[in-house]
């Protein structure tokens, strides 16, 4: 799959190879994170659950396995395998699950009914888990490495206060457990945008969504995170490196897109943005909109969220989650309201979303990455084509 002399195991990620590395059968690769010559992180799944294969240059894998009795070490490849929730970079996940009955009141304001269900796992980085409170309401608990959950909660509460009386809301924080790197959020009211856009009538809500995203930018900033043009340009370059490594046949197109960034007007100034908008992050309830996963909020170009929203719609179309006619109309409406930095942001988005497919190697990943970059970026966002 990847030819790296420092990480030779990446050359064979077949089912048999993964079984040898993990001691588990019927594994499939869910996501690949890779740093050339240094390490690879393979997020894997099976009927038994999820886990992670760590590959490091040198003898680091053996040392990690010695320090972690729950880890499985494959001497042939040097791979270290850990079953979720075991994660040597984020041991707080296992600790949270183990201590859940005791820590639940601190996080969600009272006892929980049952345990924690895994929704999303990013090995070494974060985990999102679902739980049910005693009052029947659903809450979401996140364990996040490299973030100050107390600072996230403070910013969240400031933003909730600023939005009081408006038609835009964000999911509020319920509580934190800093020692476990954990933070809990209430669930959002309404229907997520990805469900609405499954039918053409859902387009009627898109204007409201765009209005509410614009209103977020008019609020005083609560985040100190920066995703300005310099940051986004570096993000594009990092995405390009992954794409070219996994899909070398897309190298020419990738380099053309990087060059295009230098020909388009570069965004100036920053405003408050969501920073990682997805269709499932937007909930509508009449004329009210609620945003979730707002810990990614940052200071960045005003056109970045709309460009990302348009790119996510293209992905949903490619994955047959939204009809082509609905996707085209939605993207056209977004483009019609675009600002001067939209096309520049669109190139960054195109590379970032193509990297997603490079990191999620499936039968159609190459075709989807290629189509996304060619049709969505090269053909142009403003026409909605």
Q: Where a domain ends, among 29, 55, 83? A: 83
In a domain, 384, yes or no: no
Q: Report whether pLDDT(89) > 70.
A: yes
Report the chain's mean pLDDT, rounded to a whole number. Answer: 94
Q: Where a domain ends, among 65, 83, 101? A: 83
Residue 377: which pLDDT band, with cuts at 50, 70 and 90?
low
In a domain, 23, yes or no: yes
In a domain, 2, yes or no: no
Average pLDDT over residues 366-371: 95
Domain count of the fold of the chain: 3
Reading the block at residue 348, the tokens are 């960054």
In a domain, 344, yes or no: yes
Average pLDDT over residues 275-292: 97
Q: What pLDDT, on the 0 to 100 scale, is given for residue 376?
A: 54
Q: With 0.75 as the threshold, say if the pTM is over it.
A: yes
Q: Do residues 334 and 369 share a domain?
A: yes
Q: Do residues 165 and 308 share a domain?
A: no
In a domain, 349, yes or no: yes
Short-list 277, 70, 270, CA closest to 193: 277
Q: Do residues 180 and 214 share a domain?
A: no
- What is the extent of the structural domain holding 195? 191-378
Q: Do residues 77 and 182 share a domain?
A: no
Q: Where a domain ends, among 163, 186, 209? A: 186
Q: What pLDDT, on the 0 to 100 scale, is given for residue 383?
A: 39
């Amino acid at each position: 799959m990847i030819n790296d002399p420092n990480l030779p195991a990446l050359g064979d990620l077949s089912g048999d190879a993964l079984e040898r590395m993990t001691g588990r059968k019927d594994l499939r690769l869910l996501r690949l994170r890779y740093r050339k010559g240094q390490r690879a992180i393979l997020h894997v799944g099976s009927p038994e659950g999820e886990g992670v294969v760590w590959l490091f240059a040198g003898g680091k894998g053996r040392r990690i396995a010695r320090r972690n009795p729950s880890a499985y070490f494959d001497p042939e490849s040097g791979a270290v395998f850990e079953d979720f929730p075991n994660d040597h970079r984020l041991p707080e996940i296992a600790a949270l699950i183990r201590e859940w009955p005791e820590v639940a009141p601190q996080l969600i304001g009272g006892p929980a009914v049952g345990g924690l269900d895994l929704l999303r796992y990013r090995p070494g980085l974060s985990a999102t888990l679902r739980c049910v409170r005693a009052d029947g309401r659903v809450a979401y608990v996140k364990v996040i490495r490299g973030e100050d959950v107390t600072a996230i909660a403070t910013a969240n509460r400031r933003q909730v206060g600023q939005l009081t009386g408006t038609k835009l809301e964000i999911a509020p924080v319920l509580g934190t457990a800093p020692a476990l790197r954990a933070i809990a959020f209430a669930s959002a009211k309404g229907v997520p945008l990805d469900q609405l856009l499954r039918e053409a009538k859902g387009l009627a809500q898109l204007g409201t969504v765009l209005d509410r995203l614009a209103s977020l930018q008019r609020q005083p900033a609560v985040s100190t995170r920066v995703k300005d043009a310099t940051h986004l340009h570096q993000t594009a370059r990092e995405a390009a490196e992954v794409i070219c490594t996994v899909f070398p046949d897309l190298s020419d197109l990738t380099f053309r897109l990087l060059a295009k960034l230098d020909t388009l007007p570069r965004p100036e100034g920053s405003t408050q943005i969501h920073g990682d908008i997805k269709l499932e992050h937007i909930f509508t309830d009449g004329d009210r909109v609620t945003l979730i996963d707002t810990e990614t909020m940052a200071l960045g170009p005003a056109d970045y969220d709309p460009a990302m929203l348009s790119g996510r719609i293209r992905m949903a179309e490619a994955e047959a989650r939204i009809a082509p006619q609905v996707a085209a109309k939605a993207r056209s409406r977004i483009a019609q309201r675009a600002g001067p930095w939209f096309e520049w942001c669109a190139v960054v988005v195109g590379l970032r979303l193509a990297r997603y497919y490079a990191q999620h190697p499936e039968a159609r990943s190459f075709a989807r990455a290629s189509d996304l970059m060619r049709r969505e970026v090269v053909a142009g966002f403003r026409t909605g084509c």
